[in-house]
Chain A
Amino acid sequence: MRSIVKKLGIGFIFYLLLVIIFPFLLSNEYYLSVGIVIGLHAIVTVGLCLLMGLAGQISIGQAAFWGIGAYTSAVLSTKYGLPPAIGLLASAIIPGIFAFLLARAIAGLQGYYLAMATLAFGYIVQIGLTEWESVTGGANGMISIPKLQYFGDSELSMYYLIWAVVTCVLIFSLNILKSRVGRAFRAIHKSEIAATTMGIDVRQAKLGAFVLSGMFAGISGGLYAHYMGILDPQPFGLHESIKFITMVVVGGMTSIWGALVGTVLIDSINEMLILLSEYIPGLQGDVDTIVFGAILVFIIMFMPEGLVPRCRAFYEKVKAKKRKAAGSQQAERKTVA
């Protein structure tokens, strides 16, 4: 037992327990649906964290991959009658191909130029989804996308399915972080020249990070389509891309757990705001935009490293202090003796 705890890490076990018992803590369809949406977002943000936090490549168009994934699976299963499993597989592969092509084209871009290119890509995809009416149904979107029924069609089974995917994505990403490839990502973030002289192919590393994050977003999109049952291009634009960035930044860009924490936090705040707006009918504007804007500004100004790394640093400090205190006590005892 102890060895299992040690192997997985106490944090991971805590995460698993929380995911498993959440539906019983708040056993209500509404909370369950919130849990599902958080899971869907988390798959995207963990991928974005690999791309942005580790490899240092900004993407202001991540919702586009999400949208491509959603439409891929929806079109394949609705229009061509393929089983959702194949649709989901395609919803990982097709966005991956898009990410590969985009990254290949723009791998030479840096900083603001890269930001602009990904932003433009996001717009192009959203416009494409809206205009390609014969396939995507245009602005009206698609309806009656089949639900996933591999484990029954209850909301609860969907919840567990999605969080199983989140857990896989999480484990995969944590493995990457502590591996040759993850270190290469972090190396190109800090110094492309040094990375190159260590034998890292910078272009290939960027490509890998883009494709991986694109595939994660695509998988999430496919699940989203089958969970919602309906689809329109509206959620796959700049607004959602910025929300994904907010989630990653709040939790701490350099930490994969940070992406998860940020996602939970931002989505929870979002739900609270929706509840609040029911009680305060006078609020006609986008209160959520104000809150998210304020959060972004606050984080960059006062806590640029994000929540999780900040808490970790604080914890280390306390631990070090304790150790020091214990050390000096021992020393005192020695001198007395």
Chain B
Amino acid sequence: MAELLQYVANGFVGGGIYAIIAVGFVTIYNVSKVINLAQGEFLMLGGMIMVSLIGLHVPYGLAFLLAVTAVTIFGILLQKYVISYVKRATPLSLIILTIGVSILIRGFASLIWGKDAFALEPITSHEPISFGGITIAQQSVWVIAAVLVILLFLWYLMDKTMVGRKIKACSVNTKAARLMGISPGKMAGLAFAISAASGAVAGIVIAPLSVTSYDVGVLLGVKGFSAAILGGLGNPIGAVIAGFLLGLLESLGAGYISSGLKDAIAFIVLIAFLVIKPTGIFGERSVGKGGL
């Protein structure tokens, strides 16, 4: 029983990160119908910039702010000068483009930081906390806190503010939104900024849990993409639930079956789900036009 609880706790931490990445995917997708496969690189950049700043003896809080800001600006520039440049974009070309961006970023990261792994100091001490038979790192608590804050913030932004309404308007009908004086380009930039910022935060808080290096973004991005697809593209709540589900699945799979197979289990479940329900667990929210 204690074992099970331990796995669930671990899965919750990992799943929270997937949830954030998945929500990043969904935010961008809803506004601009782009799947940004470079999403995982935002996390990598956040963690690596943080490591460098701490290395330069910048105070933790300030370093955090600087790292998140830098990644956010990067996200905006990426949207403005690369993604929006592609005319007559199809899913196929956007996938290829963002894969290109992703490996380009990774390549530069390997040039700047090298291929070694770096450790980042946790926000509070290394001492793990135990309660009710389970033990988790203090940093894990911070991760969960950060996940909750980000998700709450995004929910508030989308549901309670004017900006959120504008973004929603763009996702429902870009043309109508444009006619109402909303600039879809600006909203797409904003969506990239939001995803980049939340990605950077996630990247920073998870870095101390293990180590960080130039290539951590690949698998994280793929997992986040899986969660976004599993939840039904365009459905933020679905993405969050699917993110946590994926994290739990991996943790339980690693614990009870085999740690080497943990990624495979998650992907097999994903394919199985897609076979049964081709638009994810909760279905795509924006149903496509009939085509005729």
Residues of A within 8 A of B (CB): 52, 56, 58, 60, 105-106, 108-113, 115-117, 119-121, 123-124, 127-128, 130-131, 191, 193, 238, 242, 245-246, 249, 283-297, 300-301, 304
Across the interface, name the chain A residue whose C-beta is closest to B268: A124
**Interface membership of B263, Cβ < 8 A:** yes
- Asked if residues B103 and A296 are in contact (CB atoms below 8 Å), the reply is yes
Known A-B contacts A109-B278, A112-B91, A285-B110; A293 and B115 likewise in contact (beta carbons under 8 Å):
no
Please tell me if the beta carbons of A293 and B104 are within 8 angstroms of each other in the complex.
Answer: yes
Binary CB contact string for chain B from 76 to 98 against chain A (1 if under 8 A, 0 otherwise): 00000010011010011101110
Chain A residues near B61 (CB-CB < 8 A): none
Q: How far is the CA of A115 from the CA of B271 in the complex (A)?
A: 11
Instruction: Given A113-B274, A131-B260, A300-B97, verify A242-B110 contact (CB < 8 Å).
Output: no
In the bound complex, what is the Cα–Cα distance between A130 and B99 (angstroms)? 25
**Which residues of chain A are within 8 angstroms of B229 by Cβ–Cβ distance?**
112-113, 116
The reply to whether A105 and B275 form a contact with Cβ atoms under 8 Å apart is: yes
The 8 Å CB contact of B96, one of A56, A108, A296, is: A296
A301-B107 in contact given A115-B91, A193-B292 (Cβ < 8 Å):
no
Question: By the criterion CB–CB under 8 Å, are B99 and A242 in contact?
Answer: yes
B218 interface hit (Cβ, 8 Å): yes
Contact between chains at A112 and B226 (CB < 8 Å): no
Q: Are B104 and A297 in contact (CB under 8 A)?
A: yes
Asked if residues A116 and B270 are in contact (CB atoms below 8 Å), the reply is: yes
Query: Which 3 pairs across A and B sit closest by C-beta, in order of nearness?
Result: A296-B100, A293-B104, A290-B107
Neighbouring B residues of A292 by C-beta, 8 Å: 100, 103
Chain A's closest residue to B215 (CB) is A286
B114 at the interface (CB under 8 A from A): yes
Asked if A284 and B93 sit within 8 Å, CB to CB, the answer is no
Given A284-B114, A296-B100, are A120 and B271 also a contact pair (CB < 8 Å)?
A: yes
Chain B: interface residue total (CB-CB under 8 A) = 50
Residue contact A123 to B267, C-beta cutoff 8 Å: yes
B111 within 8 A of A: yes
Shortest Cβ gap from A162 to chain B (Å): 28
User: CB distance A123 to B222 under 8 Å?
Assistant: yes
Q: Is B261 in contact with chain A by the CB < 8 A criterion? A: yes
Minimal Cβ-Cβ distance residue in B for A242: B99
A58 in contact with B104 (CB, 8 Å)? no
Is B264 part of the contact surface with A, judged by Cβ < 8 Å? yes
CA distance A74 to B108 in the complex (A): 37
Report the Cα distance A117→B274, complex, angstroms. 8
B91, A123: Cβ atoms closer than 8 Å: no
Q: Which residues of A contact B82 (CB under 8 A)?
A: 297, 301
Which of B106, B112, B264 contacts A123 (CB under 8 A)? B264
Q: Which residue of B has the minimal Cβ distance to A57? A: B92
Question: Are B261 and A105 touching (Cβ within 8 A)?
Answer: no
Partner of B103, one of A111, A119, A124, A293: A293
Complex Cα–Cα for A127 and B218 (A)? 15
Distance to closest chain B CB from A240 (angstroms)? 12
